[in-house]
Structure 1
Amino acid sequence: MSVEGIFPDVVGLTYRSGTQTGVTTDEFKFHFEPGTTVTFSIGDLLLGECDGKNLVSIFDLVANGTPALDPKVVNRARLLFSLCLGQGFEKPIIIDEQARDVVSEYAWMVNLDSTNTSDLDEALLCICSKLRIPSKTVSYTRNHLRRAAARFKALRDVPIPTRDGAGILGDVYLPLQDGKKRFPVLMSCTIYGRRIFYSGPDLDDEDDIAAFEKAEDDWHSTGEGTPVRVPRGSWGPSWEAQRGFENIATFNTSTYVPRGYAMVKLDPRGVSQTPGTRNIPGQLTSDFYDAVEWAAEQAWSDGNIALVGSSYGANVLWNVASLRPKGLKCFVPYASDIDPYRDAAYIGGVPGVPYIADWYRRVGLCSPKWSDQVDLVSMMKSKPFYDALWDTMKSNMGSVDLPCFLAASQIFMIHGRAAYEAWRSRNPANTHLQLVDSNYYPLPSREAAGKILQFLDHYLKGAECSTLERVGIQVRLGHGQWYWRKESDWPVPGTQYTQWHLRSDGSLAGEEEEEEEAAQNTQEQQITYAARVSPDGRSGASFRSAPFENDVDLAGHFKAVLTVSASSSDADFVVMLWAEDAQGGVVPYNAKGELEPLAKGFLRASHRRLDPLRSTPERPWHTHTAEDNAPLQPNEIVQLEVEIFPAAARIRKGWTLRVDICPSEYQPDIPGYVPVKMREFYGEVDGNEQATNSIHVGAGRPNYIVCPVVPLEEGYPNLMQ
């Protein structure tokens, strides 16, 4: 009596068990006699043996306890994988009679138990040359074995049809779960490419394929801080040395697929190996929509789909979600932008040309074969005011009522605004909001993964969950420490918006102190500083509070109200909030312990016009239109309301609050603070080296910072779960 077993993805593998002999079928089946050993061979070359069982893999052909990446495993897998014509398991490994004969011919050269994986190189070259197929590298083999050990597999470069017949490419990652063949699907799409950590190989270039496989192997097998080189130029040292995210703007396969989710990562047209032109209006949304409907019908899909992604990978989710493709049940735009003008390109009316130009350069690095229909940098420069074109570029969020897991980054100054605008307009019953660290990229696959999985399990798998977190806030404590705060609403219930007033002596006064000061001091005073950074790197004015008498938690929207003038026809006013400890040292609020403000915002004075219908007491909304643009007359005194994106931090007892008002964000008097150059501030390009900006205080002139004080929490955990 024989029992049926499966050796997944392999056809034609020779087996023997007692009196049972044969080759694995088109359905990967073999037969064995219970209680006997099964041997597996390719022609005359023995791969290994194991006790008969229903499911056998390459790991069973070596001694129990052998590590997944041990050379004995790698050698066997590399030989077997080299007989596969695909880059993943989108095609089965087919061992036909010719393959068996050729492997038999060179079996004398093969030592599968060698501890040196390169010992197989010569034999594999002979075998694959004779079969006229490319051999697989050690890195390729290790990557597939690593996934197999985590109980999933990859299907590479899968063609996905689109309505116009052109099609796009995607990678599909499938769990390996006994007896289960259909799974809910997580889908992402970016313009950065699908491979680690960006771009993807030229499929006609074996050396390029090998280089990308090595990059993936290096990413997994070396530690944080070791650069991973992708053969497309440098994306940047910090990106190359990180180990938090496998792929830019998507979620990690190693986090989600072993938890019972299929994942599909798409390359839209003009990205990596998908032919086409980038930035054709509506094309990416249309193709992504078609891919979702395709995924809902695949044999490995149970028909329940979620869209997931961060940054650009989150931005593209809104329009697709609004179209409600078949099978779509929820989406996770983790740190997205919705309004490209206000959220990224012209925050506060200040042009983000350096940021957009550098980003655009990197997109070109990802996909050098293809081009863009529109030069985004030139378009941006030609459109300094909000108009109909910018309006058409906004994401469609108003009609989306699907369950949504939102996140916003604090301080990074992109992806820090849209989540709150979406929160205001969405159904509160199925919306979940998170305020997280400026380095948000690894969070969906590490610290926040448990919360996202809980959300996905509920909406895709029907899991009961009575504790889905409505609002979560990462409150920074300084020096790399933080705590996770759970709330029922946003703004945080119990928020008290307190005012800190700027005084001519450089102090910050509370509301009661300011009332007393205003009654006694009716003289206006002017604090003037250079509109351009001086050679010593200092410009602007600083104001400090008295030491705090108690710990204070701040979490929510900040804003600044300033009375200002300038000697030029325009000026930028940058507002940065810091904390200084009892010794006068600046508290680093970055989660890695690096220098970072508590909160930050800025406004170009000519863009000061507010929309009264959209503004709220805690969040000013500026129109930014050409019609409302109001250049300054020399020394004209005007009032500004500066939007400061939400942030969360604690100021300790004995610390002081410091406020810097500067012409740019690059020169506060804080040694070691070197922000990334993302914007063109007016004083840097005006050409008037003698230009000055001024703050007018006293005589009833309003100059204050609004801070959201929330109830203090103690006994908190330093984790998100």
Structure 2
Amino acid sequence: MTLGSRNTEAQLVSVGNPEPTQWQMYDRPPSFTHTVALPNQTITMSDGTKLFVKVSLPGFSANNPEPGPFPVVLTQTSYNTSVGQFVPEVGGANEFLVTRGYAHVVVDVRGTGNSAGNWEAFGDREQADYLEVVEWVVEQPWALDRIGLEGISYLGITAILTSQHNHPAVKASFPIVPIGDGYRDIVFTGGNVNATFIPSWMALVTGLGLLPVELLATDPASFLGAVPDRLTGALLDFQVPTILKALLGEEETVFDEGFWEIRSPMEGVDDINVPTFVVGGLFDLFQRSEPLWFERLNGRVPTKLLIGPWTHIEAAGVPSNGLPRDGVPTLDVLRLQWFDEYVMGLDTGVDDQPDVTQYVLGLERYETATNWPHPELRAERFFLDSDGAMSLDLPADGGEQSTLQQPLNGLCSFSTTQWTAGLTGLIPLPCLEDNRTSELAALKFELPAIDDGIYLNGPMQADLWVSTTASDVQLSVRLDILDPDGTTQPITNGLLTASMHSVDESRSRFVNGEMLQPWHTYRASDRSPLTPGEIRKVSVEIFPSSVWVPPGSSLLVSVNTSNVAQGVPPLLTALVPSLLGVMTLHTGPETPSSLTLPVVPVDNLQLP
């Protein structure tokens, strides 16, 4: 079954299993020698707000663009086009594409960079702007009515949302690490507010917009009002109020209400009718949703999925994304072939490229498949035993293990690297790469890999029977490869506050009769604090991954009571029902704590 969303229930699907294809190189040399910037301009929206835009055209000298018309690449950024001149990944002209015959249009979304207005992070008015920008582009004399949308992170999200308007000029989309569900992916994972990335990201967008210096030369009157508008918007209207509401537990923010539906692009996935190539990362901020985009688009429009071993900034090439590798081309080449086929209208053979390409941890290589989840996936339930073992057999006797509830666990773990978008990964601290230190007090379970090892590919679920001496408990479930020398390699993790355990089974993913990915409701009316001593089953969603655990190593599962890097309880849940106490995990026939894993036959891999 697929995973549902707020507006759709899970659906039964029939998955075929043809042979996967391998990557074939594509190459088209430059047809122009220069990327030529036109004078800066503004676009006036229907409400009078002016958006700042930079246009780059192909040319044969530094100051003389060719007149065109050209097919267009459109990027819409919140990170300031002025910065994009020096860091193209956040909103600058892509010379690789422009010298191959594309015009590149880059726009500051409202309230950011050099654009006027107030920023509200994918709010209704900003999303309406996307369509008006497309309409402006096709009216320009240098533009054909053939547009490709692209970008990384925020820029990739604007590409996804713009494609949902279904303007006939939009022919293709190439979003890199795009969000799907803002609430579940990152902001309130498991009912916990992300205090690591989200505040710093909002500060970054605000800071990069405080000095709209290029606007001074383009529109001095707008410049004089821009900085006060930025400060007022940040302090009183959106950024600071939103963070405070989240931390203080304001119900319309901390529960899954309309605010989050608007900012969850996956809710509009069925409106997309253009070919879409999705790039994701196994350790990205939006790790959960990137393969879901492929799943929901596959069979309706041409779509491809590439998932690398990346954090958020590594997907952008900081310090490197490691491509080309194992036959997989660079992102520039992949984007060129995608746009050449669907925007420029060339015959590139892109349909014959692999549909799904994933890096497999442990194997340390890219592998291709015909679908996601993997066509040969089976959901296998492994029961936890009080002696630390994992088995397909239900333990004959009941047992329990307890640990002190620690609100600050995970400060120095690989989760810190993931949820700072990869920034702390640039710091050579062993505890940021090996999770042993952060899991010293965790309850641990091992599944040894024998024969040809264990191959997991897809989402996962932990069903934990727990009790606490407090009124609530965070449950952090972490998966690692445990090597023979005792070191660990991170795979993935899940986080859930037990009082938010309500699951809508009609929207959850089932595979061969086992629930493999729960859909939590996160409604205020469904929140249910625990009575001290009450034993409750809590299903924790563990974000998808692809990993081969080699023979001699083990799959290590750690159950802990917090992961502060990924999320902290808002004050609504942290102070009223205390989280300080002792958590007990129950196992055995009556309380069968278990993990359901996406097991794929190892013969699907090319083992060394």
Q: Assess same fold via TM > 0.5.
A: yes
Write out aligned runs for 1:441-520 (5 A).
441=313, 443=315, 447-464=330-347, 465=349, 466-477=351-362, 482-509=364-391, 511=392, 514-515=393-394, 518=395
Native 8 Å contact 1:335 1:419 kept in 2: no
CA drift of 1:415 comes to 4.7
Aligned to 2:308: 436
Structure 1 Cα separation of the partners of residues 278 and 459 of structure 2: 17
SS of equivalent residue, structure 1 residue 600? strand
Aligned to 2:425: none
Aligned partner of 2:494 among 594, 601, 611: 601
Matched AA of 1:552: I
CA drift of 1:419 comes to 4.3
Structure 2 Cα separation of the partners of residues 485 and 615 of structure 1: 27
SS of equivalent residue, structure 1 residue 602? strand
Matched, 1:679 2:567: yes
Matched AA of 2:500: H
Structure 1 Cα separation of the partners of residues 92 and 172 of structure 2: 15
Native 8 Å contact 1:150 1:254 kept in 2: no
1:373-394 Cα deviation digits (max 9, x unpaired): 3232134342211123333333
Q: May I ask how many residue pairs the two structures share in their alignment?
A: 495
Native 8 Å contact 1:398 1:426 kept in 2: no
CA drift of 1:149 comes to 9.7
Query: In 2 relative to 1, CA 494–180 (structure 1 residues): closer, same or farther, beyond 3 Å?
Result: farther
Q: Please say which of residues 643-652 and 295-304 is displaced more in the overlay.
A: 295-304
Matched, 1:532 2:406: yes
SS of equivalent residue, structure 1 residue 185? strand
Query: In 2 relative to 1, CA 379–323 (structure 1 residues): closer, same or farther, beyond 3 Å?
Result: farther
Matched, 1:334 2:224: no
SS of equivalent residue, structure 2 residue 56? strand
Structure 2 Cα separation of the partners of residues 527 and 340 of structure 1: 34
CA drift of 1:442 comes to 5.2
Structure 1 Cα separation of the partners of residues 93 and 453 of structure 2: 38
Aligned to 1:120: none
Aligned partner of 2:546 among 648, 651, 657: 648
Matched, 1:703 2:593: yes
1:198-241 Cα deviation digits (max 9, x unpaired): xxxxxxxxxxxxxxx8xx3xxxxxxxxxxxxxxxxxxxxxxxxx
TM-score by length of structure 2 reads 0.75
1:496-526 Cα deviation digits (max 9, x unpaired): 32333221111222x1xx24xx3xx33x221
Native 8 Å contact 1:251 1:444 kept in 2: no
Query: In 2 relative to 1, CA 492–304 (structure 1 residues): closer, same or farther, beyond 3 Å?
Result: same
CA drift of 1:691 comes to 0.7
Native 8 Å contact 1:311 1:336 kept in 2: yes
Q: Please say which of residues 426-435 and 177-186 is displaced more in the overlay.
A: 177-186
SS of equivalent residue, structure 1 residue 259? coil
Aligned partner of 1:620 among 486, 505, 518: 518
Structure 2 Cα separation of the partners of residues 337 and 347 of structure 1: 13
Aligned partner of 1:692 among 566, 582, 607: 582
1:119-148 Cα deviation digits (max 9, x unpaired): xxxxxxxxxxxxxxxxxxxxxxxxxxxx99
Aligned to 1:263: 104
CA drift of 1:626 comes to 1.0
1:606-649 Cα deviation digits (max 9, x unpaired): 11111111001221101010111111110211112111111112
Query: In 2 relative to 1, CA 365–331 (structure 1 residues): closer, same or farther, beyond 3 Å?
Result: same
Native 8 Å contact 1:444 1:452 kept in 2: no
CA drift of 1:700 comes to 3.7
Matched AA of 2:405: A
Aligned to 1:45: none
Query: In 2 relative to 1, CA 428–148 (structure 1 residues): closer, same or farther, beyond 3 Å?
Result: closer
CA drift of 1:714 comes to 5.0
Native 8 Å contact 1:267 1:273 kept in 2: yes
CA drift of 1:255 comes to 3.4
Structure 1 Cα separation of the partners of residues 563 and 182 of structure 2: 21
Q: Please say which of residues 173-182 and 382-391 is displaced more in the overlay.
A: 173-182
Aligned to 1:69: none
CA drift of 1:716 comes to 8.3
Aligned partner of 1:393 among 263, 268, 288: 263
Structure 1 Cα separation of the partners of residues 275 and 31 of structure 2: 32
Matched AA of 1:495: L
Matched, 1:574 2:457: no
Structure 2 Cα separation of the partners of residues 701 and 425 of structure 1: 39
Query: In 2 relative to 1, CA 644–702 (structure 1 residues): closer, same or farther, beyond 3 Å?
Result: same
Native 8 Å contact 1:336 1:419 kept in 2: no
Write out aligned runs for 1:310-389 (5 A).
310-368=152-210, 369=227, 370-371=230-231, 372=233, 373-374=237-238, 375-381=241-247, 382=250, 383-389=253-259
Aligned partner of 1:420 among 284, 292, 301: 292
Native 8 Å contact 2:470 2:579 kept in 1: no
CA drift of 1:443 comes to 4.0
Native 8 Å contact 2:43 2:51 kept in 1: yes
Structure 2 Cα separation of the partners of residues 291 and 430 of structure 1: 25
Aligned to 2:95: 254
Q: Which has the higher contact order (CA 8 A, sep 6+)?
A: 2
Structure 1 Cα separation of the partners of residues 200 and 406 of structure 2: 23
Write out aligned runs for 1:50-61 (5 A).
none
SS of equivalent residue, structure 1 residue 532? coil
SS of equivalent residue, structure 1 residue 630? coil
Aligned to 1:48: none
Consecutive unaligned residues in structure 1, runs of 5 or more? 1-146, 198-212, 217-244, 588-596, 667-676
CA drift of 1:411 comes to 2.9
Larger Cα-atom Rg: 1
Matched AA of 2:346: A
SS of equivalent residue, structure 1 residue 391? helix
Identity of aligned residues (%): 23
Matched AA of 1:637: I
Aligned partner of 2:279 among 404, 407, 421: 407
SS of equivalent residue, structure 2 residue 523? coil
SS of equivalent residue, structure 1 residue 408? strand
Native 8 Å contact 1:309 1:334 kept in 2: yes
TM-score by length of structure 1 reads 0.63
Structure 2 Cα separation of the partners of residues 628 and 496 of structure 1: 31
Matched AA of 1:653: P
Structure 1 Cα separation of the partners of residues 161 and 408 of structure 2: 45
CA drift of 1:544 comes to 1.5
Structure 1 Cα separation of the partners of residues 484 and 33 of structure 2: 49
Consecutive unaligned residues in structure 2, runs of 5 or more? 1-29, 211-226, 318-322, 324-329, 410-436, 511-515
SS of equivalent residue, structure 2 residue 524? coil
Query: In 2 relative to 1, CA 321–627 (structure 1 residues): closer, same or farther, beyond 3 Å?
Result: same
Aligned to 1:660: 558
Query: In 2 relative to 1, CA 343–585 (structure 1 residues): closer, same or farther, beyond 3 Å?
Result: closer
Structure 1 Cα separation of the partners of residues 455 and 331 of structure 2: 22
Structure 2 Cα separation of the partners of residues 349 and 297 of structure 1: 45
Matched AA of 2:404: A
Native 8 Å contact 1:507 1:543 kept in 2: yes
Matched AA of 1:253: N
Matched, 1:300 2:145: no
Native 8 Å contact 1:251 1:309 kept in 2: no
Matched, 1:173 2:62: no
Structure 1 Cα separation of the partners of residues 568 and 488 of structure 2: 26
Query: In 2 relative to 1, CA 344–252 (structure 1 residues): closer, same or farther, beyond 3 Å?
Result: farther
SS of equivalent residue, structure 1 residue 450? helix
1:173-195 Cα deviation digits (max 9, x unpaired): 22226978232111111211123
Query: In 2 relative to 1, CA 532–324 (structure 1 residues): closer, same or farther, beyond 3 Å?
Result: same
SS of equivalent residue, structure 2 residue 507? coil
Query: In 2 relative to 1, CA 623–533 (structure 1 residues): closer, same or farther, beyond 3 Å?
Result: closer
CA drift of 1:428 comes to 3.7
